[in-house]
């Protein structure tokens, strides 16, 4: 922790008591300190990071990126896995405040309901960085910056590809949509961007839309329901690869050929998704990069040093067709 003099001012007894308190405060999710564990007197920046969970391949790659980048940058990471529950993230953030970490970063599971805990961090003078997902707080002073993708753009790029793909259609094109976690920024924004893009062609209609919670199991289960309830499905738009991969099982079990009988569009471009695209089971992927770790650590260092940072740091991304996926797969890192 970059607070020189803290050790001598408090004295050993106080440090020991603080350490015991901190260790007793764990238990809101799965926590680990990723190494040196907050040694008093260390000059390392201490970052408390609350992760959404481990719901998808994207999330696993994101966690790896954050952990590796922290090690690389010499930042001590206190990592908490919230298991996709907002209450766990709020507890984790409160624990980080009690432990007096230098900086807090988190990827909010949903957009709403953060003002109180963010105010507590601000009152404790601990800067907060949002990573991957945004919050809908009106008070922008509650956090320093937000680094992540433009989810509306991802939805829009997916919709625009579909408009082009189906431009010759003379009748209705029935679309089913697998939404991400209800209330999350990527679910809200991808839905919005996609809807705006397909509105340009009245033949394109979303006939069913439901959350599969960004998981394979959720994608499979909801797709089974969609297939039972809708005799004619032409397109699946899944808000991430994992739900699309789960849906593949349901589609095949229903005797349909994914990528041919049903056009499949997903978001993320993790390896398994890219493989499905290269194999012709998916038709299009809009990329969402999970490799936020190095940029996050740069921001952590800057806000800790009191330097100004941009309000918004946007991730660079692209899109993939099957041919592009084949070319990219051999060097794909995640």
Binding residues for ligand AHR, rule: CB under 6 A, are 55-56, 58-59, 132-133, 186, 214, 240, 242, 267-268, 288
Measured from the CB atom, the residue of 55 and 81 that comes closer to ligand AHR is 55
Smallest gap, in angstroms, from Cβ of residue 273 to ligand AHR?
9
Where do the DSSP E strands lie in the chain? 30-32, 46-51, 76-81, 103-106, 128-131, 145-148, 173-179, 204-211, 235-238, 263-268, 284-287, 312-314, 319-320
Q: How far apart are CA 222 and CA 80, in angstroms?
A: 29
Please state the separation of Cα 278 from the chain's center in Å.
24
Measured from the CB atom, the residue of 97 and 285 that comes closer to ligand AHR is 285
Measured from the CB atom, the residue of 76 and 189 that comes closer to ligand AHR is 189
> Biggest alpha carbon distance in the chain?
78
Measured from the CB atom, the residue of 205 and 312 that comes closer to ligand AHR is 312
Burial class (CB in 10 A: 0-12, 13-18, 19+), 180: buried
Smallest gap, in angstroms, from Cβ of residue 172 to ligand AHR?
29
Measured from the CB atom, the residue of 81 and 242 that comes closer to ligand AHR is 242
Smallest gap, in angstroms, from Cβ of residue 59 to ligand AHR?
5
Smallest gap, in angstroms, from Cβ of residue 313 to ligand AHR?
15
Angle between helices 293-304 and 57-73 (to 10 degrees): 50
Smallest gap, in angstroms, from Cβ of residue 211 to ligand AHR?
12
Measured from the CB atom, the residue of 99 and 149 that comes closer to ligand AHR is 149
Angle between helices 241-253 and 271-278 (to 10 degrees): 50
Smallest gap, in angstroms, from Cβ of residue 56 to ligand AHR?
4
Token representation of residue 241:
């690869």
Q: How far apart are CA 233 and CA 327, in angstroms?
A: 30
Please state the length of the chain.
334
Where do the DSSP E strands lie in 52-94? 76-81
Smallest gap, in angstroms, from Cβ of residue 161 to ligand AHR?
17
Q: How far apart are CA 210 and CA 239, in angstroms?
A: 11
Measured from the CB atom, the residue of 81 and 234 that comes closer to ligand AHR is 81
Measured from the CB atom, the residue of 160 and 268 that comes closer to ligand AHR is 268
Measured from the CB atom, the residue of 1 and 187 that comes closer to ligand AHR is 187
| 204: helix, strand or coil | strand
Q: How far apart are CA 141 and CA 163, in angstroms?
A: 40
Smallest gap, in angstroms, from Cβ of residue 182 to ligand AHR?
13
Smallest gap, in angstroms, from Cβ of residue 286 to ligand AHR?
10
Backbone phi, psi, residue 202, to 5°: -65, -15
Q: How far apart are CA 38 and CA 282, in angstroms?
A: 45
């Amino acid at each position: 922790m970059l607070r020189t003099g803290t050790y001598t001012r408090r004295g050993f007894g106080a440090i020991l008591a603080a350490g015991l308190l901190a260790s007793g405060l764990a238990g809101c999710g799965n926590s680990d300190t990723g190494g040196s564990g907050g040694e008093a007197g260390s000059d390392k920046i201490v970052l408390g990071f609350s992760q959404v969970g481990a719901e998808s391949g994207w999330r696993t790659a994101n966690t790896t990126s954050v952990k590796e980048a922290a090690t690389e940058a010499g930042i001590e990471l206190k990592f908490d896995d919230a298991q996709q529950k907002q209450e766990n993230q709020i507890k984790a953030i409160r624990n980080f405040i009690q432990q007096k970490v230098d900086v807090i970063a988190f990827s909010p599971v949903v957009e709403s309901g953060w003002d109180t805990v963010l105010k507590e961090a601000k009152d404790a003078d601990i800067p907060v960085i949002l990573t991957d997902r945004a919050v809908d707080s009106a008070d922008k002073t509650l956090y320093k910056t937000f680094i992540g993708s433009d989810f509306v753009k991802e939805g829009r790029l997916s919709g625009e590809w579909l408009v082009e793909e189906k431009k010759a259609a003379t009748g209705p094109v029935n679309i089913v949509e697998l939404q991400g976690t209800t209330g999350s920024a990527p679910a809200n924004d991808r839905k919005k961007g996609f809807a705006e893009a397909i509105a340009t062609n009245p033949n394109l209609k979303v006939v069913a839309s439901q959350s599969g919670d960004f998981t394979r199991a959720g994608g499979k289960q909801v797709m089974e329901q969609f297939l039972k309830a809708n005799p004619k499905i032409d397109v699946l738009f899944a808000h991430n690869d994992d739900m699309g991969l789960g849906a593949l099982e349901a589609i095949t079990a229903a005797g349909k050929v994914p990528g041919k009988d049903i056009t499949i569009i997903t978001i993320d471009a993790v390896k398994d998704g890219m493989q499905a695209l290269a194999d012709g089971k998916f038709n299009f992927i809009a990329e969402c990069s999970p490799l936020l770790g190095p940029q996050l650590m740069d921001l952590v260092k800057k806000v800790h040093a009191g330097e100004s940072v941009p309000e918004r740091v946007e991730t660079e991304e692209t899109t993939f067709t099957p041919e592009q996926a084949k070319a990219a797969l051999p060097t794909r890192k995640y």
